[in-house]
């Protein structure tokens, strides 16, 4: 039987609203971008209203008409959601994080810590960022699509392996016997890909949900559909235009999706 149950998510951005000059609208505090209190209020309202998750997009850079329109994203997703986690109790916390630039160990560590702090409410929106402004902030150029997706497959596999590197009962915490951890229940991941690698384990215990939920967001390229189909439990899709078309791919590169990291 088809399940028609809707799951509502609220996108959180700069704290002003999604219209380009919302920061100067009547009643909007222009300080909201650097003041987490506004997004905390929106998160608490969404939680009271029955929304299932908060979705925080990310653009780690400065672009567009910043002189007038301001910035579209939160200052930093994990930091913002950690503060929001402390002021909410049930709503899911989905942070966007690129697979293109950071080391998978950093991504795994930040998301798993958010999951532990939020008592099992974190999600990771894994995006194959291809913006030259962001690439330049990481001291890099934009790799072609086949390389970005190969790195994405390897990164997601390593991140998920690191998240699973503690068995559920590894954290013993038995003051009477003096045993804090059971080292036999910590598993190094020893994954080596073409672009990224990690030994593990991660120094963070499983959360109440085990590990964060993987989301993805992107255009309808075969590469993205394969990536999302393989790993994502949720997908943030783009809106089609009036002709039913989607935005064209932003680079002309071709090449098969990656096969991922291997032991």
Ligand X SMILES: Cc1cc2nc3c(=O)[nH]c(=O)nc-3n(C[C@H](O)[C@H](O)[C@H](O)COP(=O)(O)O)c2cc1C
Interaction site with ligand X (CB under 6 A): 57-59, 96, 98, 127-130, 145, 217-219, 221, 223-224, 236-238, 249-250
Specify the DSSP element, H or E, that contains 191: strand 191-192
Residue 87 has φ and ψ, to the nearest 5°, of -105, 5
Provide, rounded to whole angstroms, the least separation between the CB of residue 48 and ligand X. Answer: 26
In this complex, which beta carbon is closest to ligand X, that of residue 107 or of residue 128? 128
* Cα Rg, the chain, nearest whole Å: 20
In this complex, which beta carbon is closest to ligand X, that of residue 68 or of residue 250? 250
Provide, rounded to whole angstroms, the least separation between the CB of residue 100 and ligand X. Answer: 8
Kindly tell me the burial class for residue 253, based on how many C-beta atoms sit within 10 Å of its own C-beta (0-12, 13-18, 19 or more).
middle
In this complex, which beta carbon is closest to ligand X, that of residue 84 or of residue 127? 127
DSSP 198: E
Provide, rounded to whole angstroms, the least separation between the CB of residue 78 and ligand X. Answer: 13
3-state SS class at 68:
coil
- Alpha helices (runs of H) in the chain, residue ranges in sequence order: 36-48, 77-87, 104-117, 132-137, 145-163, 222-231
Mutual angle of helices 104-117 and 77-87, in 10-degree steps:
10
Provide, rounded to whole angstroms, the least separation between the CB of residue 105 and ligand X. Answer: 20
In this complex, which beta carbon is closest to ligand X, that of residue 121 or of residue 223? 223
Provide, rounded to whole angstroms, the least separation between the CB of residue 20 and ligand X. Answer: 17
Question: How far, in Å, are 21, 28, 37, 38, 42 from residue 31 at the CA level?
Answer: 14, 9, 10, 9, 15
Q: Alpha-carbon distance 198 to 68, whole Å?
A: 43
Q: Alpha-carbon distance 210 to 164, whole Å?
A: 8
Provide, rounded to whole angstroms, the least separation between the CB of residue 10 and ligand X. Answer: 15
In this complex, which beta carbon is closest to ligand X, that of residue 24 or of residue 250? 250
User: Cis omega before residue 201 (within 30°)?
Assistant: yes
In this complex, which beta carbon is closest to ligand X, that of residue 47 or of residue 58? 58
Q: Alpha-carbon distance 253 to 113, whole Å?
A: 36
Provide, rounded to whole angstroms, the least separation between the CB of residue 95 and ligand X. Answer: 10
In this complex, which beta carbon is closest to ligand X, that of residue 98 or of residue 212? 98
């Amino acid at each position: 039987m088809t399940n028609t149950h809707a799951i509502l998510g609220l996108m959180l951005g700069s704290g002003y609203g999604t219209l380009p000059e919302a920061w100067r609208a009547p009643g909007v505090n222009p300080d909201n971008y650097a003041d987490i209190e506004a997004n905390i209020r929106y998160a608490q309202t969404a939680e009271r209203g029955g929304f299932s998750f908060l979705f925080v997009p990310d653009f780690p850079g400065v672009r567009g008409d910043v002189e007038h329109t301001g910035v579209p994203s939160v200052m930093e997703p994990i930091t913002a959601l950690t503060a929001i986690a402390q002021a909410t109790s049930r709503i899911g916390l989905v942070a966007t994080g690129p697979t293109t630039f950071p080391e998978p160990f950093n991504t795994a560590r930040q998301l798993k810590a958010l999951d532990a702090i939020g008592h099992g409410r974190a999600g990771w929106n894994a995006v194959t960022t291809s913006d030259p402004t962001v690439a330049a902030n990481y001291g890099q150029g934009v790799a072609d699509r086949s390389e970005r997706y190969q790195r994405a497959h390897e990164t997601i596999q390593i991140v998920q392996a690191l998240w699973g590197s503690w068995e559920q009962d590894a954290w013993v915490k038995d003051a009477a016997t003096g045993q804090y951890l059971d080292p036999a229940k910590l598993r190094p991941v020893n994954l080596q890909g073409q672009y990224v690698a990690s030994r593990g384990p991660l120094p963070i215990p499983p959360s109440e949900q085990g590990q964060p939920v993987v989301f993805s967001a992107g255009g309808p390229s075969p590469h993205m559909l394969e990536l999302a189909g393989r790993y994502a439990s949720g997908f943030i899709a783009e809106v089609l235009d009036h002709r039913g078309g989607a935005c064209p791919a932003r680079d002309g590169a071709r090449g098969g999706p990656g096969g991922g990291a291997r032991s």
